[in-house]
Structure 1
Amino acid sequence: MKTITSKIVVLSVFSLFVFGCKSSKKTETKRPNILLIVSEDNGPDLGCYGVKEVSTPNLDNLAQEGVLFERAFVPYSVCSPSRAVIFTGLYPHQNGQIGLATHKFRMYDNVKTLPKYLNEAGYSTGIIGKLHVNPEKEIPFEFSAIPGSNFGKKDLKKYAEEASNFIKGSDKPFFLMVNYPDAHFPLQKQVEGMPKNPMDGVDLKGSLPFIGADSERLREYTANYYNSMDRLDESVGMLLKELQASGKADNTIIIYLGDHGAQFSRGKCSNYEAGLRIPLIIKDPSIKAKSVRQNELVNTIDLLPTFLDIAKVNSPKNLPGMSLLPLLKGAHVKNNREYIFAGGNGSTSLLYYPRRSVRDYRYKLILNMLHGKENPHYTFYETHINGHFDAGTEESEVNNSSPEVINAYKVWKNPPKYELYDLQEDPYEFNNLAGDIAHQDVLNRLISALETWQFKTDDPLLNPMKFARFNKEIDSVNTHFPNHSYSKNNNFKWLYPEYFITN
């Protein structure tokens, strides 16, 4: 009898052990995987956003199966600062990455980043494509592949292949960020047969509408930008096919976004809508609502809180964003956000032109902090100073435009302190209303909102002494390291991370 009882006890313990393991494993699989897809240098120029010139069936289908955000924005329209926001959940002036990593700008010390949060939470973390934030050691993904920029867009099928290897390689829930190089300059008409049916400038009736100007040259660049969007969609299709083949698609939340707008005049590097507004699509297989078009104001500062919400990790109280998961339940859900904010310094020393902006559902205010000084972005674009600016609008193209567009380029070249736009009546921001008496109440309300945001987020450029010191540092760098030579100097180090965070 004793022997039988012992056997029963042993079997019971064994059964509890096995059940416990299964239960634990079952609990683990309840936490969804996260696939984050990021494309470079494109606004919401997709079929699902109403752009008929492109063919983007894979991303359009993703929108049909999930939620498309009509009003999604980044807080800085340049790559490194935009990506640092995704990794930290903080505005660039809060995390320190206020310019391009290739120009030695870097995050402050002791800023906790996305992979650290998710590694601690038991996720496998990976990145495919470029990271482009300093210091890279503070963003410790467990897996990485294709680390270069790949501006030639070669072997795009490898992104999906590497993703498949990672997805299939772990039993833990995973977070994978896949970064595609389209539509970063140089723009290519076709690479390795992609897209299958490229267009030419003659196929278009005009250039991108926010440019305002039009010419045969601008249409050709616009056509190749659209070709890049088609090629991006083919790449995303290959990736989603691999996810489906892995058997993990039903437990994977897919998030697609662009890192900022296209590199045409008044786009990338600006605080106009064409620089800050991005496509954002989220598909959560567990949500019944499909083909939702969400109109709430959202920002990429919301991504880290969203990832932590998915992983069932409490968000730190210092994060300014909010989880997007509630907004996936339908267009009727609101986030009660009244304003969206953005910064920007210029990304390099020669492009330094600090600005801040705020918009609500109708109006946009831009503060030009060095008003009275010419905006260097205008000349960089107009003269095509390097290949990244080849599609910039030339003086002759501006002069052949409407008076409204000519005036808009004058404002962009020599900005006043404030620019105010009615985005409902003037979606491409051609008519500055800051001096219009009828809009003074709107102007003052947005100025107050912007100053409050700067104060609450400890914007260092709100402090006159820090602003003056940073201006002096920029001038000194341009004097001692002409033509960005500091970017090749291994000993060069920016000083702002030391004094921006001191009282």
Structure 2
Amino acid sequence: MKLPLSLLALACALSPLAAADRPNILWLTSEDHGPQMGCYGDPLARTPHVDALAAKGMIFKRAWSNAPVCAPARTAIISGLFPPSLGAEHMRSEVAMPAGAKMLPQYLREAGYYCTNNAKEDYNLTKPGQVWDESSAQAHWRKRPAGAPFFAVFNAGQSHEGQVYRRPHQAVLDPAAVRVPAYHPDTPEVRRDWAQYYDNVSTVDAVAGGHLRDLAAAGLADDTIVFYYGDHGPGLPRSKRWPGDSGLRVPLVVHFPPKWRHLAPKEYAPGAQSDRLVSFVDLAPTVLSLAGIAPPAAMQGRAFAGPHQVDGPAYLHGFRGRMDERYDLVRSVTDGRYIYLRNYWPHVSQGQRVRTQFQMPTTQVWRRFFDEGRANDAQSIFWREPKAPEELYDLHSDPDEVRNLASAPEHRVALERLRGEARAHAARIRDLGFLPEAEIHARAGRAAPRDALATDAAYPFARVVAAAETAAGGDPGAVPQLQAYLKDADSGVRYWGVMGALMRGPAATQAMREGLVAALEDPSASVRIAAAQALARHGAASDLPRALDTLRACADPTRTSAFAGIAAMNVIDELGERARPLLGFVRGMEVRDPQTPSRNNDYVQRLKGIVLERFGEEPAPTGRKKRN
């Protein structure tokens, strides 16, 4: 039966997608900015504009970025998916999105929204077509067509990590007034950096205030739902890049004017503080819900507002993969009180030498304290090798996360519950991060990793994760199982067999020597690199030349890939003097993989410079400088 045109017109007018019935949505974001704000109870913070927004809106007390660094965090925001499920957890990895998937603004634009981004994107995903109507430093909701609702994002970079150590700086907050976290040494350098961070937060608060004034001056405040959030924790070491609460917890403030109060979270009230657990994967489905669009079933987040809002999760999940040029593999989960971290690379410290991080005075003085034996136990955790395979902290009694309760009998129930949730979550999302980055790309080719590795034939998830658990568990009695892994048909399992030897040291490496030597010829570059590291670090002197030959071959991105090059150059750097025979090769090596996006080649170039500096040589200037 066909409806008369007059009835169709009436139906469209009453639709939740009709322009007059859809809210404008404004996102005000800031970089490297945790919940150090007045509205979150911090007495040192001077944030009057966001505090005023919170007083008439609502804050989420337990909001997490899913990653403690910008690009993977923004990947979760723009996709509504956990980056490890996409093969996109590694910094600026640029992988393809699954077939049919879209980025948040694409759904909104199809529904008639004018979408602008000013200006940072920095996704770990290649864009599937045009995402924004405009994404630039000039992008603004003012440019929208008449009558169109807008979704506008403004990103403030004045709180970025690089601004914490930018000098000269005219201090506003007295460094003597700051609270130094238990994990940092109490030195003038640390106090100055923390004070400057607070000053920078005041600056981005003022930027937010300017955008709110513009909205009001245009007469749009009553028509616009406003979000304010930071993209991950503070830009200081042990916050940024670390997937604990200090690196993942962010401010999230929302304001719904009376006109749109019916779309607000069910617990919303002016000045309220929500206990709901929220993370960045929830932002995309929430905005779609506010626009009257049912979130796609494939999205892994949960809408917390709008007609499609659902109950909140019992847990939040975080992760850490490659942070700039350094690899790690950590998964974290919180129920709001306890936080659990599983370290699958316990042989490296929390405080790996990430070049950008070491430009900060706090990092430099903190490392010096540790090297000189002046750091106390809480201050030493960040630098110790190996780190604990499992960590458990009670955020109520230990907000600085320095008392690991993983071995405490009285917290055994909490440990097992969160451990179980971490494993269940990995299975639910089919976490691809248990494969090395180079292996993900080798298997996926130019396809989206989530699509290419969707079957057990392509990625035997349960077997690979079981091997990772065994390898990272540290049990000396697991050597026979690790040896069996070396003969597995899947290179991901073989990789973890090799890593188990590396993590256990000389005894395991000697016991597994025959298999490790054979692994130097493995078809997988990731397995070859790991075997070379184990033999060069823990094997006999006679093993070193062959191990170095393997690293030389794998480090050349024109023979393997930029991702294998990053992994191999990390090992060369870690080996120090044992790798000196490779100096001539490193000096003249090619750093461009023509099949890989340039941002990943940049990390090969960076590591080349780091290795040359280690051996007392001056690296050639690259002419490139990136914020991260």
TM-score (norm 2): 0.65
Q: Which secondary structure does the structure 2 equivalent of 1:100 belong to?
A: coil
Whole-Å separation in 2 of the counterparts to 1:487 and 1:320:
40
Say which of 75, 79, 82 aligns to 1:84.
75
How is 1:185-196 mapped onto 2 (pairs within 5 angstroms)?
A: 185-187=161-163
Is 2:117 the counterpart of 1:131?
Answer: no
User: Is contact 2:290-2:307 (8 Å) kept?
Assistant: no
Say which of 302, 305, 315 aligns to 2:282.
302
Is 2:410 the counterpart of 1:438?
Answer: yes
Q: Report how far residue 225 of structure 1 moved.
A: 0.6
User: Is contact 1:164-1:246 (8 Å) kept?
Assistant: no
Q: Which amino acid aligns with 1:353?
A: D
Q: Report how far residue 419 of structure 1 moved.
A: 0.6
Whole-Å separation in 2 of the counterparts to 1:120 and 1:276:
32
Q: Report how far residue 317 of structure 1 moved.
A: 1.3
Is 2:97 the counterpart of 1:108?
Answer: yes
User: Is contact 1:187-1:221 (8 Å) kept?
Assistant: no
Q: Which secondary structure does the structure 1 equivalent of 2:76 belong to?
A: helix
Q: Report how far residue 266 of structure 1 moved.
A: 1.1
Q: Which amino acid aligns with 1:477?
A: I
Q: Which secondary structure does the structure 2 equivalent of 1:491 belong to?
A: coil
How is 1:116-195 mapped onto 2 (pairs within 5 angstroms)?
A: 116-133=106-123, 134-136=125-127, 138=129, 140-146=131-137, 162-163=139-140, 165-166=142-143, 169-187=145-163
How is 1:72-471 mapped onto 2 (pairs within 5 angstroms)?
A: 72-101=63-92, 104-110=93-99, 111-133=101-123, 134-136=125-127, 138=129, 140-146=131-137, 162-163=139-140, 165-166=142-143, 169-187=145-163, 198-199=171-172, 201-207=174-180, 209=181, 211-285=183-257, 286-287=260-261, 289-325=269-305, 335-348=311-324, 350-371=325-346, 373-375=347-349, 377-380=350-353, 386-387=358-359, 389-392=360-363, 394-398=366-370, 403-410=376-383, 413-462=385-434, 463=461, 464=464, 465-466=491-492, 468=495, 471=526
* 1:126-164 Cα distance to aligned partner (Å, 9 max, x none): 100211124245461011222xxxxxxxxxxxx7xx536
Whole-Å separation in 2 of the counterparts to 1:259 and 1:385:
17
User: Is contact 2:351-2:383 (8 Å) kept?
Assistant: no
Q: Report how far residue 409 of structure 1 moved.
A: 3.0
User: Is contact 1:119-1:125 (8 Å) kept?
Assistant: yes
Q: Report how far residue 20 of structure 1 moved.
A: 9.9
User: Is contact 1:124-1:172 (8 Å) kept?
Assistant: yes
Is 2:26 the counterpart of 1:35?
Answer: yes
Q: Report how far residue 397 of structure 1 moved.
A: 3.9
User: Is contact 1:384-1:391 (8 Å) kept?
Assistant: no
Whole-Å separation in 2 of the counterparts to 1:296 and 1:487:
50
Whole-Å separation in 2 of the counterparts to 1:135 and 1:337:
29
* 1:470-502 Cα distance to aligned partner (Å, 9 max, x none): 9548554333698999997361428xxxxxxxx
User: Is contact 1:74-1:276 (8 Å) kept?
Assistant: yes
Whole-Å separation in 1 of the counterparts to 2:244 and 2:353:
17
Structure 1: segments with no counterpart, 5+ residues: 1-12, 147-158, 495-503
Change (3 A) 1:123 1:205: closer
Change (3 A) 1:444 1:386: closer
* 1:184-216 Cα distance to aligned partner (Å, 9 max, x none): 132269999xx9x84255442443x26432110
Q: Report how far residue 178 of structure 1 moved.
A: 1.0
Say which of 465, 472, 479 aligns to 2:568.
479
User: Is contact 1:63-1:291 (8 Å) kept?
Assistant: yes
Aligned position for 1:499: none
Whole-Å separation in 2 of the counterparts to 1:327 and 1:273:
30
Q: Which secondary structure does the structure 2 equivalent of 1:391 belong to?
A: helix
Q: Which has the higher contact order (CA 8 A, sep 6+)?
A: 1
Whole-Å separation in 2 of the counterparts to 1:163 and 1:424:
42
Q: Report how far residue 448 of structure 1 moved.
A: 1.0
Q: CA RMSD in A?
A: 3.7
Whole-Å separation in 1 of the counterparts to 2:122 and 2:72:
9
Aligned position for 2:53: 62
Whole-Å separation in 1 of the counterparts to 2:12 and 2:590:
53
Taking only the aligned residue pairs, the percentage that are identical comes to 26
Change (3 A) 1:400 1:290: farther
Q: Report how far residue 338 of structure 1 moved.
A: 1.5
Q: Which amino acid aligns with 2:362?
A: A
